[in-house]
Amino acid sequence: MHSLAQEIQGFSKSGLKKQCTRVTTVTGRKLLETRTSDGGEGEERVEELEKGSGCGYVEDKSLDLQVGVVRPFLLLASQDAAHDIDTLLRYKVSHVLNVAYGVTNLFPDQLVYKTLQILDLPDTDITSYLGECSSFIDQVREKDGVVLVHCNAGVSRSSSIVIGYLMLREWLTFDDAYSQVKVARPSIRPNPGFYKQLQSYKP
């Protein structure tokens, strides 16, 4: 009977499959890390990906254009939707509330923008922005417009603002407001700090 040590010694790395890992750097360069094993210790190679190359899978390049309709005049989405003119036209968006940090407004000639550069950090006081944001949303509603609220991913900052708006203007409890926004856009997830702040928020 072989000992475990003998089994490990007898194990050939050449039996391993080639492994590919796709890496996208912060600058947007796409690299392919390939680990091969030719009996020895194996080697790692990094090459720049050409368009169309891959490693046996399809890369998901789809944009997040899902728009959560919270109210007929109040929509919630990611920056992808805010940057897609077809989506904006389909939902009859007239105003955009941009609560991301460093995300540009692409259609200033066609839409009315309000920008608040909010950091998605648990210790950011999200409730301190609710009054100003809610006033903007009210103005849109009074003009029979439609406002799209977005941050980067449409997950934490913008969802927190929309939840806070429902609590402030419609007197909903946090649980009710959260549930309604979650139904409209299932991917929402306010960061833990925002979640706690909204839970204890008393308009």
The residues annotated as belonging to the active site are 151
- Give the E-state strand segments of the chain in sequence order: 19-24, 30-36, 43-48, 68-71, 74-77, 95-98, 112-115, 147-150
Amino acid present at 182: K
C-beta contacts of 22-25 below 8 A and 24+ residues apart? 22/49, 22/54, 22/55, 22/59
Q: Residue type for 133, please?
A: C
Question: Residue 122 and residue 119: Cα distance in Å, rounded?
Answer: 9
- Three-state DSSP at 95 gives strand
Give residue for tokens 């029979």: 144
HEC profile of 20-55: EEEEECCCCCEEEEEEECCCCCCEEEEEECCCCCCC
